[in-house]
Chain A
Amino acid sequence: MHNSRNRLLNQIRAIEFTTLELNLFLNSHPGDQQALRDYNNGVRQLKALKNEYERQYGPLINFGFGYSRSPWQWINEPWPWERESNRGCN
């Protein structure tokens, strides 16, 4: 189970890294049209991947940003600092 979960987390990580980088770049280059197109394109991909993750494993983000099935999935292990959450990712 962890393998497919970690694979999906890694896809999210990769896209989110590009949107984070573009976000920082756009902070100092707010008029850059190419960066903005890439950013918005990344947002679209990220939303789809995060929806897929949450459908299978519950909320990725706390405080109302993802649906949970019963019982409350947010407390599910592993947590990010634990090896099990990162196995097979690099």
Chain B
Amino acid sequence: MWLYEKKLQYPVNIKKPNYKLAAAILNQFGGPDGELAASLRYLSQRPSMPIPEAKAMLNDIGTEELAHFEMIQAMVHQLMKDAPIEEIAADGATAVYYTDHGRASWISTGTGVPFTGAYIQSKGDPIADIYEDMAAEQKARATYEYLINLADDPDVIDPLRWLREREVVHFQRFGEIMNKLYEWKDSKKIF
């Protein structure tokens, strides 16, 4: 069961539209290292976890990622909403996205490559899964750094920096879970 809390986890208030930047940020909505992939990856992996700490961590970080998915959607929405059509038309790639989706956030990359379950894995092996999750956090951190490099608007950079820091914290928490999984594995060898 999930509940909806009617607020963003961290505020997004972008005053200056920028369709091209929105398309780049859309990658964190439905791209390979994006927030949807992160959330669905962790939530899908939950039942394979052998220890209570790991079940709780995947459950809760998977839930937090949905709040980040929502923040990214807010950024894309606010950047696209009042963007002048001349600006959209002037760029070939953004014009193609506009043709298919207007000013909507679709779960895809900024160039319209659709989201796919092939981005994520549930291996059924807790150590393999948590290593994937740690890698995913690092890839998302790198993506946020690239987006910060592309952005020149402080209203956009501020939430991107905040989201980047969450990747660092999640990586740390998954690392602690990894240590506990190795302890669990070692304890199983004693009969």
Contact = CB atoms under 8 A, between A and B. Distances in A.
Interface of A: 9-10, 12-13, 16-17, 20-21, 23-25, 27-30, 59-63, 65, 74, 79-83, 85-87, 89-90
A63 B8 CA distance: 18
A34 to B, nearest CB: 17
Nearest to A78: B6
Interface of B: 3-15, 53, 56-57, 60-61, 64, 70, 73-74, 77-78, 158, 169-170, 173, 176-177, 180
Contacts, number: 83
B57 A28 contact: yes
Main secondary structure of the interface of B (DSSP, over half): helix
Contacts of B56: 27
Closest A-B pairs by Cβ, 4 of them: A89-B11, A28-B176, A81-B74, A86-B11
B6 A17 contact: no
Contacts of B70: 80-81
B12 A86 contact: yes
Given A83-B14, A89-B13, A90-B13, A60 B64 contact: no
A20 B166 CA distance: 11
